[in-house]
Amino acid sequence: MADRPAASTQHRADILVFFGATGDLARKLIFPALYGMVAHGELDAPVVGVAFSRWTLEDLKERARESVAAAIPEHDPAVLDALLGLLRYVDGDYREPATFEALKEAVGDARRPVHYLAIPPVMFGTVIQGLARAGLHTDARVVVEKPFGRDLASAQELDAEIRGAFPEEAVFRIDHFLGKDEIMNLLYFRFANSFLEPVWNRDHIASVQITIAEDFGVQGRGAFYDTAGALRDVLENHMLQIVALLAMEPPAYQGYGAVHEAKANVFRAIRPLTRNDIVRGQFDGYRDEPGVARGSDVETYAAARLHIDSWRWAGVPWYLRTGKHLPVTAHEVVVEFKKPPQALFDDAMMAQHPNHLRFRLQPDGEIALGARVKTPGEEFVGEQRELVVSTGGAGSRHPYERLLADAMEGDRALFTAEETVEAAWRAVDAVLTDHAPAIRYAPGTWGPTEADTLIGADGPWHDPVLQDDARRGSAHRTGK
Ligand code: BG6
């Protein structure tokens, strides 16, 4: 697949405007990404930060310095200086036309701006209207952060609001997982190889598990998190994107348009979740987090059983789980194959599913094929082993760097389309409100045990085991 097939149809932006310049996302991720873009020769256009913080350009530069120093201790001071030289700053209330007049002045002669909304979604509409009133939407692109809405209806409203000023081709919706190398590798590994396709279907696959586990809590984001929860924050977007890449049909032609279409078809085929398909959990202590309502029922853990009603996947359950304050931070997919039709060896059938393909997406990229291997000796007995390839390494860029560079280029390949965002909401919409109360779990555990009932005979859940653990790989199989 060509690397950047869509870019040639677009033009390169000549200025980057980012709203929310004094915020947390800018500090943690955007300045380091901008630094990386300058370092890789992808950014030489002016960058206008916008915020309502009573800051000056000097304050913004100071923030950029601190942020780059914290994220990239070994940074090159000359590159940082080059970035600082590109910065401009506009301070003002997003509700005031004067803010956009000042922005217009800062934009100056630039004609093809990218407007990046690194701000809470409630402000999207206000900023879009301000841009349109000031004529700053013409020939411009807009990059919006997730969460894109909080359910199907609000996502549709948001789309209508954005589309009032920008055509769909100019809207870049970020799901930063799509900018991760290991996620891109799911697509590559599936379609750059021929051995997988014959077995990648309901005839050979018993079930698929996807785990996005985090060993930390809400990290000072309680006020935001309490409006979202695990279903909206991770499952509806990041996890369903992973499902789509694993479940999609081969793209019909070379180019990302075909990937988008194939993914959209998966979303359309996902059977909407019902309350019996999910387990919600909340870690003990969540309600004491700053910004969280004392009686909050928001879930910090969600497990779901999903079905894709397509020819390829009929009858194959997909199990997803994500949570905060779990034992490790690791993202992993385990695809379990059906067992052999006959038991030729006494021990072989003891493993419920002797074969699996495991994709470790984070922290270290890894692809492993699980199989039974005979142990030395006269007996025909074996054990579960994994053939492992490490897929990580130098050269991978931070997803934000990649995605912002793509937005500047006009390459929409790694962004999500309106249709897919809405189809993803449709899959989870009912359970956002129709669900049992969140079940408490102790921090540092794998969440409520009710999730074991959800997975039932297709279990157990495969808890990712990190590399430094001597028993690496062993917890992926229980039926020795
Ligand atoms: C974000 C969620 O979208 O993704 C966070 O809001 C989550 O709650 C994060 O921790 C996980 O992404 P990453 O790239 O940090 O693993």
**What does the alpha-carbon distance between residue 250 and residue 242 come to, in Å, rounded to a whole number?**
15
**What does the alpha-carbon distance between residue 323 and residue 213 come to, in Å, rounded to a whole number?**
5
* Ligand 1 atom showing the smallest separation from residue 216 Cα: 10
Residues facing 41 on adjacent strands:
none
**Element housing 103 (H / E):** helix 97-107
Q: Encode pLDDT of 193-245 as tens digits.
A: 999 999 999 999 999 999 999 999 999 899 999 999 999 999 999 999 999 99
Ligand 1, atom 2, residue with closest C-alpha: 233
Residue 477 has pLDDT above 70, yes or no: no
Q: Encode pLDDT of 313-341 as tens digits.
A: 999 999 999 999 999 999 999 999 999 88
Residue type, 35: Y
| Chain position carrying tokens 């405007």 | 17
User: Is position 435 annotated as part of the catalytic site?
Assistant: no
* Ligand 1 atom showing the smallest separation from residue 218 Cα: 8
Ligand 1, atom 8, residue with closest C-alpha: 233
338 CA from centroid of ligand 1 (Å):
33
180 CA from centroid of ligand 1 (Å):
12
Q: Encode pLDDT of 419-476 as tens digits.
A: 899 999 999 999 999 999 999 999 999 999 999 999 999 999 999 998 664 334 434 4
101 CA from centroid of ligand 1 (Å):
35
Ligand 1, atom 7, residue with closest C-alpha: 234
Q: Look at residues 44, 43, 85 and name the one whose alpha carbon lies nearest to residue 64.
A: 85
Q: Encode pLDDT of 295-318 as tens digits.
A: 999 999 999 999 999 999 999 999
What does pLDDT average to over the chain? Answer: 92
**Residue 312 CB partners (closer than 8 Å, separation 6+):** 200, 201, 202, 247, 249
Pocket around ligand 1 at a 6 A CB cut-off: 146, 176, 214, 233-234, 362
Give the active site residue among 115, 176, 238, 353: 238
Q: Look at residues 93, 160, 155, 79 and name the one whose alpha carbon lies nearest to residue 121.
A: 155
414 CA from centroid of ligand 1 (Å):
17
Ligand 1, atom 13, residue with closest C-alpha: 177
Ligand 1, atom 6, residue with closest C-alpha: 233
CB 111 within 8 A of CB 45: no
* Ligand 1 atom showing the smallest separation from residue 237 Cα: 3
pLDDT at res. 357: 97
Listed range (87-91, 188-192, 346-350) with the worst mean pLDDT: 346-350
140 CA from centroid of ligand 1 (Å):
28
Q: Are strands 278-283 and 382-390 parallel, antiparallel or unpaired?
A: unpaired
Q: Look at residues 417, 363, 406, 424 and name the one whose alpha carbon lies nearest to residue 238.
A: 424
Q: Look at residues 91, 103, 152, 100 and name the one whose alpha carbon lies nearest to residue 126.
A: 100
